[in-house]
Amino acid sequence: MQTEKTIRSLRFNYYTAFLATLAIIVAFEGGFLHKGALAAILSADDIYLLEVTSVMITIALIPIALKSFTRSMKRAAGMGKAKLLKTFGKMSIVRISLLFAVITVNAFIYYGLNYTGALYCGLFGYCALIYSYPTANTLESFINSNE
């Protein structure tokens, strides 16, 4: 029962991350926010800095999000089912949050600067988020490997 509750909660957070980034895209594509507005008010140095920031955030946070989850689950392997369930929930939220940060930063930079590199970085973030879908099978495999 507790595992299903955890999985439902994690899926809610997962879908919220998708819907929030979809809202950003709709806001810019729908004309509610002006595309390229940041490029008009920032200097060339600031634009370059944001472009590099976009790439560096992607390069740093995606491996951290994916690897920290795996490490934490391996560390919690001998702790028991309750501790494993708590670690799975906490680290899944951390993983989803880090990937959400990658996607939203890149979406704002893509639309704010019209920088296509941020589009690709955002797509990498989406791919990592799709890979991070919380399933009961994943949780059960961690629990069964613990026993």
Distances (CA, A) of 1 to 4, 8, 58, 93: 5, 11, 36, 19
Distances (CA, A) of 54 to 87, 115, 141: 30, 10, 35
Range of the domain at 136: 2-146
Q: Can you give the pLDDT at residue 1?
A: 60
Q: How many domains does the chain have?
A: 1
**Length of the chain in terms of residues written:** 147
Q: What is the pLDDT along the chain (147 residues), one digit of tens a residue?
A: 677 888 888 899 899 988 988 999 999 999 898 888 888 899 999 999 999 999 999 999 999 999 998 888 888 877 777 888 888 889 999 999 999 999 999 999 999 999 999 999 999 999 999 888 888 888 787 777 766
Q: Can you give the pLDDT at residue 59?
A: 96
